[in-house]
Structure 1
Amino acid sequence: MAKSLALSALLVVLAGLIVFQYFITSVPSLNAPITATNAHYADNDNSLLVSMVWSDGQRFTLGLRGDILEKPEEAALFFITRPDLVPYVYWPGLRSNDEKRVATLLGRWAKTLDNPTATEARFIRSEQENIAPDADAAAYQIYSVLKNRN
């Protein structure tokens, strides 16, 4: 009896951990309107980071680490699904299903942009002038890298 109770408790704890892991590593389905905010480029880590905020105020922070302009196929995607709750950085594999979900999410956001070509040009200009990119330009650059890779 004691063994079966202990086994049942262990199974419940393991199931709870699996649900929690899924909760902090899943790509959210953002409700429109989606806005890109708070872009940051870290030159020493060669990382580009952008926060996306959706209609109910939740944030989804994502980025690429690696040489985005010279070797975009090697840039690794990372994201934080619920940065206010658990600051856990998730690194999905290259060309994984999670990476494709992020590309789809950014694709839905990119359709709301007025002029995507100008947005991409702003990112390249900010790289050349070594200044921080605006949030839309950074998010569109991440979208371009993921779209071309997948």
Structure 2
Amino acid sequence: MIKSTALATLLFVLVAFLGFQYYITSVPDLAEPVSVEETRFIERDNSLLVTLRGNEGRQFTLGLRGDIENKPKETALFFISNPELVPYVYWPGLRSNDEKRVLELLEDVIEREAQDEAAISRIYEVLKNRN
């Protein structure tokens, strides 16, 4: 009885951990309208960052790190899905499903935005050429 309770508890903890990991590393569905809250270029890290905000106030920060101008295919995509809960920076693999989800999110934002933000366009262009 004790072994089965311990095993059930362990399985519950593992499933809860997997759910939490998925929550902090997934590309969120931002409520319409999505707006660009902030764009930054950090010269020290050679990073381009964009923070998007959904209608419900949820933030999603994404960016590219690396030589965007000369070696765009080698730049690394990163994002912070839930900065209010856990400020975890997730680095999806090149041409991964997560990278394609970010590409789809940016496509939606660009289609809906009347003004074309240069930072979003540049990140979108790099991901589009890579995928």
Q: Does 1:57 align with 2:38?
A: no
5+ residue gaps, structure 2? none
For structure 1, the 5+ residue unaligned runs are 117-135
**Partner of residue 120, structure 2:** 139
Show the counterpart of 2:81. Answer: 81
Q: RMSD value over aligned CA atoms?
A: 1.1
Partner in structure 1 of residue 69 of structure 2: 69
TM-score, length basis structure 1: 0.83
Which residue of structure 2 aligns with residue 148 of structure 1? 129
Q: Could you say what secondary structure the match of 1:84 adopts?
A: coil
Q: CA deviation at 1:115?
A: 5.9
Structure 1's 74 and 4: CA in aligned 2 closer, same or farther, altered over 3 A?
Answer: same
Q: Which residue is equivalent to 1:47?
A: 47
Paired residue secondary structure (2:112): coil
How many equivalent residue pairs? 131
Within-5 A mapping of 1:113-132: 113-114=113-114, 116=116
The residue type equivalent to 2:30 in the other structure is: L
* Residue aligning to 1:124: none
Which portions of structure 1, spanning 4 or more consecutive aligned residues, are displaced by more than 6 angstroms?
none
Q: Which residue of 1 aligns with 2:10?
A: 10
Bigger relative contact order (CA 8 A; separation at least 6): 1
Aligned to 2:111: 111
Structure 1 SS opposite 2:79: strand
Identity across the alignment (%): 56
